[in-house]
């Protein structure tokens, strides 16, 4: 049962959305709009009817962000599209920490700041958890990704201190969509029958279907019991070998060509060790505690829905 204040707040639906051109925001915008929310996008280009800001230069006009009831902050350079060189790490850090700091400090100067701030984070916060199940009470890892997520979340949580917002840091798992992200890159080789596990395939993977992530974000907007870290993952993490076999089966293809761990480390360096080969057995305990229901709680359901919409994964 939702907080009784939920329904009264639901009548106030003006949302500011950052990361406007990313995979998640591109799907979230029409999803929320179709469900009656008024969504205004904030982007660096300021094109296609979006408001403009420049996080790198510290430019954001407070007049542009007056009057919003909630903010969904998804901006940040991609974590998984290239090796983590020192230069890339600097960009990953600045695109998250600097943009969040600018957004929160500017919102604090608004005459009517938002009541809710949802800020993206990642389950990389926990680092390599081995076979141990982890919920939102888990500690931050000391590796690069763990420190990045910790600093990122700390900036977002300042919104609670500066203007009393209910802040949610959304620790997202691997988001499954045929339109982008990890699955979109996996589909071509698997569709050709040359896909397989990564390394030994024993590493745990925590994932969420894109359609479920959109529902999770709406639950975070409307349920006042949720605050602080929320794990945005399906309730059934799987080992990589099982993930690979399930995807191959959904496509009607074999799964027999593993990618050696040594090759992944050679190609992607620290990125491979931190994401592709690391154990991540994360559970959505906060969502479970408020009765959130997943449309695709299992991989079979997720792949069935995704591939039904995109039969060839194109």
Write down the H helix ranges in 164-205. 181-191
pLDDT at 75: 94
Cβ-proximal residues to 266 (8 Å cutoff; 6+ apart), any chain? none
Verdict on whether the full-model pTM lies above 0.75: yes
Angstrom distances, CA of residue 199 to CA of 79, 133, 137, 245, 246: 20, 21, 29, 14, 17
In whole angstroms, what is the distance from residue 33 CA to residue 8 CA?
A: 19
Q: How many CB atoms lie within 10 A of CB 255?
A: 21
Half-sphere exposure of 277 (CA within 13 A, CB side): 18
Domains along the chain with CATH numbers: 5-175+208-233+281-295 (3.40.50.720)
Residues 6+ apart with CB under 8 A from 122: 79, 145, 149, 171, 172, 173
Instruction: Give the pLDDT band (50/70/90) at residue 309.
Output: low
Stretch 40-55: mean pLDDT: 88
Say what the pLDDT of residue 24 is: 96
Q: Between residues 287 and 11, which one has the greater pLDDT?
A: 287
Contact 232, 208 (CB under 8 A): yes
pLDDT: which is higher, 69 or 45: 69
Report the Cα 258 to chain-centroid distance in Å.
27
Mean pLDDT of the chain: 92
Q: Which one is predicted more confidently, 284 or 2? A: 284
């Amino acid at each position: 049962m939702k907080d009784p204040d939920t329904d009264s707040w639901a009548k106030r639906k003006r949302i500011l959305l950052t990361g406007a051109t990313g995979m998640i925001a591109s799907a979230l915008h029409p999803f929320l709009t179709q469900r009656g929310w008024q969504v205004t996008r904030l982007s660096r280009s300021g094109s296609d009817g979006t408001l403009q800001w420049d996080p790198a230069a510290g430019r954001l006009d407070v007049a542009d962000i007056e009057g919003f009831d909630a903010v969904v902050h998804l901006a940040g350079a991609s974590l998984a599209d290239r090796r983590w060189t020192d230069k890339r790490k600097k960009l990953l850090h600045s695109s998250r920490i600097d943009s969040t700091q600018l957004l929160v400090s500017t919102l604090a100067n608004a005459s009517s700041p938002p009541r809710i701030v949802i800020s993206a984070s990642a389950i990389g916060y926990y680092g390599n958890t081995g076979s141990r199940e982890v919920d939102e009470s888990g500690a931050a890892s000391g590796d690069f990704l763990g420190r990045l997520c910790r600093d990122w979340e700390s900036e977002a949580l300042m919104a609670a201190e500066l203007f009393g917002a209910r802040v949610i840091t959304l620790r997202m798992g691997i988001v499954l969509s045929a339109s982008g992200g990890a699955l979109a890159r996996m589909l071509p080789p698997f569709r050709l029958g040359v896909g397989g596990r990564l390394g030994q395939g024993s590493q745990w993977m925590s994932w969420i279907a894109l359609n479920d992530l959109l529902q999770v974000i709406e639950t975070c907007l409307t349920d006042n019991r949720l605050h602080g870290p929320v794990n945005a993952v399906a309730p059934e993490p799987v080992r990589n070998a099982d993930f690979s076999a399930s995807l191959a089966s959904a496509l009607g293809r074999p799964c027999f060509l593993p990618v050696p761990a040594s090759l992944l480390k050679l190609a992607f360096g620290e990125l491979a060790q931190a994401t592709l080969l690391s154990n991540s057995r994360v559970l959505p305990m906060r969502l479970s505690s408020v009765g959130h229901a997943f449309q695709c709680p299992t991989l079979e359901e997720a792949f069935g829905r995704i591939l039904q919409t995109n039969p060839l994964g194109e």
